[in-house]
Structure 1
């Protein structure tokens, strides 16, 4: 049996350490005993991007914000579905995670960080949200609305954080949130914040087997005029 190899450690501001682990061709990012990301499970991260891009299809030069770089599965899926004039910003709080993407995980990222549509923002995604003017905000931060690795992440999902996201979205924009498990109180908070929210169960694995995760798609108002007609 192949043992896990500890490749590197990174400190999360105000939270636990992150560990990059490898077992053969499999990679894992851990926060303490909790696995946040595994290279063999990318289906739901890809769905986060594809479902979001479907919601804003037809917009001219759409601006997308992805909160959390992880192993780049959401970013790669967004690049595959976003138009050539899209602007995609990836916010990553931990600089080492960006370094891993250009180092030991470069083969997984497949050059996505060098795509001219992509900008990496090394900082708190809450700051990037505050810049406003987004067509889509995709949050894959921590393990979902019930944060596990960093207490400050809870602020993204509480009423104040949801209000900030709503103000930062263009009319007809979408807030998409990934979670490892359902969270009924979060669904209620989305609706109380004025979002039209759908909760979608998605496969964790690309091949559609095993665990299922959750993606919330929360829309704001009516589509803008430059959205494709039905």
Structure 2
């Protein structure tokens, strides 16, 4: 069996945790301690995050979409495929090294997505970006952690709180969509989304694009 090789590591800003980029043949993995945050073989649910949101805002002229978390680019690539040519996609990534990995060792996975003229990369906290905007986005796609049970960055807990959901609703245009990825179901988060004023549904999807393996959850909330 081909062994894993650690290519690089990066400290999460404001945290004591360290992300590690590993490679085994053509396969990549990003780890936090002993937890695997993402793997290049498992892209199905991240792609579905973008596809579901794009369906909800289909027909809008020059839609503006915010993606929280660059990861391995699966959500970004799916958004580029699903959104029109006049769309604007802003990707907020907290860890600068993740952007460097996307342009370096993982460039083949990204397939030039970062160079698409519709894409703007913002190195910073998506929480603050959302809080600073009013009626700016047609859709906000969040895949910045393990889901509402934040794992990598303490500030992410605020993002999924009632206050954070209120900020997201304010940052969305009328009828905009908040889409949230999670490794696990969470009935309490569903209730928080509804209480925040979102028409909410939770969809279960497979982690693998071939519809096999672990099941993940995607919440879709339409701003009323």
Contact 2:168 2:178 in 1 (8 A): yes
Superposition deviation, residue 150 in structure 1: 1.4
Pick one of 173, 189, 194 that aligns with 1:191: 194
Contact 2:127 2:156 in 1 (8 A): no
Alignment partner, residue 147 of structure 1: 150
5+ residue gaps in structure 2? Answer: none
1:119-138, aligned counterparts within 5 Å? 119-129=120-130, 130-132=132-134, 133-138=136-141
Deviates more, 1:146-155 or 1:36-45: 146-155
TM-score (norm 1): 0.95
Alignment partner, residue 74 of structure 2: 73
Alignment partner, residue 200 of structure 1: 203
Distance 2:38 2:14 in 1: 20
Distance 2:57 2:51 in 1: 10
Matched position secondary structure for 2:218: strand
Alignment partner, residue 210 of structure 1: 213
Superposition deviation, residue 126 in structure 1: 1.4
Superposition deviation, residue 53 in structure 1: 0.2
Deviations 1:51-104 (A, max 9, x none): 000000000000000000000000000000000000000000110000000000
Alignment partner, residue 9 of structure 1: 9
Superposition deviation, residue 142 in structure 1: 1.0
Alignment partner, residue 93 of structure 1: 94
Contact 2:29 2:39 in 1 (8 A): yes
Deviates more, 1:145-154 or 1:94-103: 145-154
Superposition deviation, residue 128 in structure 1: 1.9
Deviations 1:184-216 (A, max 9, x none): 110111011111100000110010011110000
Aligned residues: 221
5+ residue gaps in structure 1? Answer: 222-230
Superposition deviation, residue 20 in structure 1: 0.2
